[in-house]
Amino acid sequence: AQSVSQHNHHVILSEAASLELGCNYSYGGTVNLFWYVQYPGQHLQLLLKYFSGDPLVKGIKGFEAEFIKSKFSFNLRKPSVQWSDTAEYFCAVNSNNDMRFGAGTRLTVKP
């Protein structure tokens, strides 16, 4: 069955630390890839997306993600996190309108 795996359930970092959240998927065909973020008490919102072209995607708030097709991965990165990045992050993969989400990674940034 198609699946999306997020390796870390909870990540705790200090401000200014670098962040990398892992995401792997099991789809074999053409995929569209997403990272969503849910700040405490707020809606899920799109952080960035990959449809085609440059596999290094820039998103809002300094986030970026790299699509590595050979590794079926779409890891999220940020060079220097802020306290306001504390949130839950979800990776999602869409193939032929079949959208699947990972279990989410909770990020806590300590001031």
Partner 1 sequence: SQTIHQWPATLVQPVGSPLSLECTVEGTSNPNLYWYRQAAGRGLQLLFYSVGIGQISSEVPQNLSASRPQDRQFILSSKKLLLSDSGFYLCAWSVISEQFFGPGTRLTVL
43 is a contact residue toward partner 1 (CB under 8 A): yes
Select from 15-23, 44-52, 66-74, 79-87 the region that touches partner 1 (CB under 8 A). Answer: 44-52
At 22, list the tokens.
């892992």
83 is a contact residue toward partner 1 (CB under 8 A): no
10-35 burial, b if ≥16 CB within 10 A, otherwise e? ebebeeeeebebebbbebeeebebbb
Cα gap 15→31, rounded to integer Å = 33
* Smaller CB separation from partner 1, 53 or 111: 53
Nearest Cα residue to 39 out of 102, 107, 110: 107
59 is a contact residue toward partner 1 (CB under 8 A): no
104 is a contact residue toward partner 1 (CB under 8 A): yes
60 is a contact residue toward partner 1 (CB under 8 A): no
Cα gap 18→37, rounded to integer Å = 17
Select from 12-20, 63-71, 74-82, 97-105 the region that touches partner 1 (CB under 8 A). Answer: 97-105
* Smaller CB separation from partner 1, 41 or 111: 41
Cα gap 77→99, rounded to integer Å = 22
- Site residues for partner 1 per CB under 8 A: 6, 9, 32, 34, 36, 43-46, 49, 51, 90, 92, 94, 97, 99-104
